[in-house]
Amino acid sequence: MSAGAPMSETSASPPVSPAPRTALYAFSAAGLELALRLAGPLQAAVYAPLRLACAGAIAFDDLAALMAETFARYERHVFVGATGIAVRAIAPHLRGKTLDPAVAVIDLAGRFAVSLVSGHAGGANALARELARLTGATAVITTGTDVSGLPGVDELAASKGMAVENAGAVKAVSAALLEGRPVQVFDPEGRLLGGEDAGGLFASTRPEDWDADAPGVWCHWASGGEFPLTFRAYPRCLCLGLGSRKGAAERTIVAHVTRVFAQHSLAPQSVRAVGTASIKRDDPGICAAARALGPEVVFFEAEALAEVETAGQSETVRRRVGTGSVCEAAALLLSGADEPLVAKTKGEGVTCAVALMPIPGVQGE
pLDDT digits over 100-145, tens only? 899 999 999 999 999 988 776 678 888 999 999 999 999 887 765 5
Count the domains in the chain: 3
- Which stretches of the chain drop beneath a pLDDT of 50? 1-8, 10-16, 147-148, 363-365
Residue 115 — φ and ψ, nearest 5°?
-80, 120
Shared domain for 299 and 214, answered yes or no, is no
| Structural domain includes residue 121 | yes
Rounded to two decimals, the pTM is 0.65
As a whole number of angstroms, the distance between CA 339 and CA 337 comes to 6
Shared domain for 216 and 249, answered yes or no, is no
Check residue 359 and give its pLDDT. Answer: 85
Around Cβ 270, how many Cβ atoms within 10 Å? 24
CATH number of residue 302's parent domain:
3.30.420.180
Shared domain for 279 and 221, answered yes or no, is no
Domain of 117 in residue numbering reads as 22-142
Measuring CA to CA, which residue among 185, 179, 165 is closest to residue 228? 165
Q: Give the end of a domain, one of 215, 234, 253.
A: 234
Check residue 343 and give its pLDDT. Answer: 94
Check residue 97 and give its pLDDT. Answer: 73
Shared domain for 174 and 78, answered yes or no, is no
Check residue 365 and give its pLDDT. Answer: 42
Shared domain for 138 and 29, answered yes or no, is yes
CATH number of residue 39's parent domain:
3.40.50.11220
Shared domain for 249 and 292, answered yes or no, is yes
Q: Give the end of a domain, one of 118, 142, 166.
A: 142
Check residue 120 and give its pLDDT. Answer: 66
CA distances from 310 to 203, 260, 271 (A): 39, 19, 21
Helix 83-90 vs helix 63-70: crossing angle, to nearest 10? 60
